[in-house]
């Protein structure tokens, strides 16, 4: 059902956990299957210096969360905004068609976290 790459990330997820004083936090819920994912980012000089995730969901949800943190770490915020659900799925060697919604969630949560960072910056600069 899953590629070896997906199982690798499920067995040993990268960047799992929380960042206590994160600069941006993004939570996304899939209303159909109930999956839930939160991404925490720490930003320095417009780059994602640290990133962590928490996920409630299936194996694909865990693997895509782990993968999106790998893809985003070290990238500029603009670069990270360009990461798509397709990128995440491709990096994992593909996902079963019915699971494509899960990778949707991972990239979405990252984008929400970045939006949250921008919003917080705006408020601080007021």
Would you tell me which residues interact with other proteins (CB under 8 A)? 2, 7, 10-11, 13, 16, 27, 32-38, 54-62, 98-99, 101
Q: Which residue lies nearer to other proteins by CB, 33 or 77?
A: 33
Computed from CA positions of residues 73, 6, 63, 107, in that sequence, does the dihedral angle turn out positive or negative?
A: positive
Strands of 1-35, DSSP E: 24-29
Which residue in the list 48, 102, 107, 112 is annotated as catalytic?
A: 102
Is-contact 50 42, C-beta < 8 A? yes
Count other C-beta atoms under 10 Å from residue 99's C-beta: 24
Q: Which residue lies nearer to other proteins by CB, 2 or 117?
A: 2
Q: Is 33 a catalytic residue?
A: yes
What stretch of H or E contains 4? Answer: helix 4-11
Q: Is 102 a catalytic residue?
A: yes
User: Rounded to the nearest whole angstrom, what is the least distance from the CB of residue 54 to other proteins in the complex?
Assistant: 4
How far apart are the C-alpha atoms of 25 and 41, rounded to whole Å? 6
Q: Which residue lies nearer to other proteins by CB, 77 or 100?
A: 100
Which residue in the list 16, 33, 77, 81 is annotated as catalytic?
A: 33
Q: Which residues are catalytic?
A: 33, 102
């Amino acid at each position: 059902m899953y590629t070896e790459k997906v199982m690798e990330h499920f067995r040993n997820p990268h960047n799992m956990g929380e960042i206590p004083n994160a600069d941006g936090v993004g939570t996304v819920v899939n209303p159909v299957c109930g999956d839930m994912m939160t991404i925490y980012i720490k930003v320095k000089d417009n780059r994602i210096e640290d990133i962590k995730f928490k996920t409630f969901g299936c194996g694909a949800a865990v693997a895509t969360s782990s993968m999106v943190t790998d893809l985003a770490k070290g990238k500029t915020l603009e670069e990270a905004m360009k990461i798509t659900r397709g990128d995440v799925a491709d990096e994992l060697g593909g996902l079963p068609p019915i699971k494509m919604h899960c990778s949707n969630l991972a990239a979405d949560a990252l984008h929400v976290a970045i939006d949250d960072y921008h919003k917080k910056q705006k408020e601080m600069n007021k």
